[in-house]
Every structure is written in structure tokens, then in C-alpha cells.
Amino acid sequence: MQGSLGPLTWLVCSEIFPLRIRSMAIGISVLALWLANALVALVFPPIVEGIGIASTFFIFVVLGLVALAFVHTMVPETRGRSLEQLEAEFRERYS
């Protein structure tokens, strides 16, 4: 996690929002990340107790594959472009 998807989360958060709302949007994104982490931490033990460890991990594998499919189809490639170029492209494409 430390060498792959973890840092990419923060990279996407820092590049995906327009400059005028970036600080507020990153704050909301970080709040959502922490709430999701808390939810997983709270729900994991009761699920393991209820359906077993193998079934619980299978659920998380399926959720991870859905997340990978979402990233592959919905997150744009930003390599080699400045934040200003990205903002102009997103403004043109989505507004």
C-alpha cells in the first residue's frame, strides 16, 4: 500500500480539483477518506464474526476490483501536463 495505491490517492486529490476550490475540495476529500477508513475499521470485526474471515476478505477483494475498474475508466491520465493545462482541459470538456 505504501508504494502503490496509497500515494496515488493523495496525488489524484492534489491534481483533480480546480485551483479556485482546491483547498476546500481536498479538505472534503480527506474527510471522506478518513470516514471511509473509520467505517472499515468499525465494520470489519462484526463481519468477520458473522460470516467468517474468508468471506469477509472475498467481499473486500470484490470491492477492490470494483474500485480498480472505476479508476481505470473514470480517472484521467495527468502525466506530462501542468495543473493549468489540466484545469483548462477539464473546464472545456465538462462545463
67: pLDDT confidence band, cut at 50, 70 and 90?
Answer: confident
85: pLDDT confidence band, cut at 50, 70 and 90?
Answer: confident
Confirm if 66 and 54 have CB atoms less than 8 A apart: no
DSSP of 16-78, one letter per residue? HS-GGGHHHHHHHHHHHHHHHHHHHHHHHHHHHHHH-HHHHHHHHHHHHHHHHHHHHHHSPP-
Distance CA 28, CA 40 (A): 18
Taken in order of first residue, the domains within the chain and their CATH numbers are: 5-94 (1.20.1250.20)
Q: What is the pLDDT of residues 8-25, one digit of tens each?
A: 888 888 888 888 888 999
